[in-house]
Amino acid sequence: MNNSTCSYCGSSLASDLFTKIDKIYCGFCEMFVTPSKDGERVENHVKQQITGYDQVRMTTPELLEMNTKSLLELLRFMREERRSYFNHMRILKRAASDDPGQFGEGEKMSSEEYEMITRKCFVVENILRDRMGYIPKKITDHLLMAYEQRVSDPYNYRPMIIRGPRQAKEKVSQRG
């Protein structure tokens, strides 16, 4: 078989349909899609290992490309960092009230970092809400393991093939 199919609905795609870089237009879905082969499902988001603060500085379009589990791990990391910045900012604020000349600049920088990471948390939370339907209050190891189990379920990787009445009847007679 080995033909190009839509990665969302499994419809056959003609490669001569107008393309947009590496995407082909699907008439059924009415959008550009990354084509798959023979109805296989395509992973559209990149899995990334959360290594540290570099991911916090990613742009919103880069975050949108990330895998949901990676975003969950990133949000957990970002919330821990935000908590740390808040505590640091609180301590510097007290110190700056006693000696603004020495601690005023540190308080300002800490406050700016706290605001930046809070806004980035909002971005990741909203991406997760769009994908999952809710924003997790707490991201635990249990949540991440349960999510990974759901993602790795073989049902998620079944090819999108529609069997007509004749094909279904032949399949039943082959079993019997």
Rounded CA separation 123/153 (Å): 28
Residue 60 has pLDDT above 70, yes or no: yes
Could you tell me the residue range of the domain that residue 116 belongs to? 45-153
* 75 shares a domain with 147: yes
Are residues 75 and 8 located together in one domain of the fold? no
Report the share of the chain in percent with pLDDT over 90: 37
What pLDDT, on a 0 to 100 scale, did the predictor assign at position 173?
56
Predicted confidence band of residue 7 (pLDDT cuts 50, 70, 90)? confident
Please, which residues bridge with residue 62 across strands? none
Total domains in the fold of the chain: 2
Mean pLDDT of the chain: 84
| 164 φψ region: left (φ > 0), alpha (ψ -120 to 50), beta (else) | beta
Residue 176 lies in a domain: no
Q: What is the pTM of this model?
A: 0.71
5 and 39 together in one domain: yes
**Any domain includes 171:** no
Residues 3 and 75 reside in one and the same domain: no
Residue 80 lies in a domain: yes
Q: Judge if 113 and 136 occupy the same domain.
A: yes
Mean pLDDT of 101-111: 83
pLDDT at 1 (0 to 100): 43
36 beta partners: 5
pLDDT at 16 over 70: no
Eight-class DSSP state of 46 = B
- Whether residues 24 and 93 share a domain: the answer is no
In a domain? residue 172: no
**Does residue 55 contact residue 69 with C-beta atoms inside 8 Å?**
no
**Residue 129: predicted pLDDT:** 95
159 domain residue, yes or no: no
> Could you tell me if 161 and 10 are in contact, meaning their C-beta atoms sit under 8 angstroms apart?
yes
CA–CA distance, 138 with 153 (Å, rounded to integer)? 24
For 90-101, give one letter per residue: b (16+ CB within 10 A) or e: eebeeebeeeee
Q: Per-residue DSSP letters for 66-79?
A: B-HHHHHHHHHHHH
- Region 106-125: what's the mean pLDDT? 91
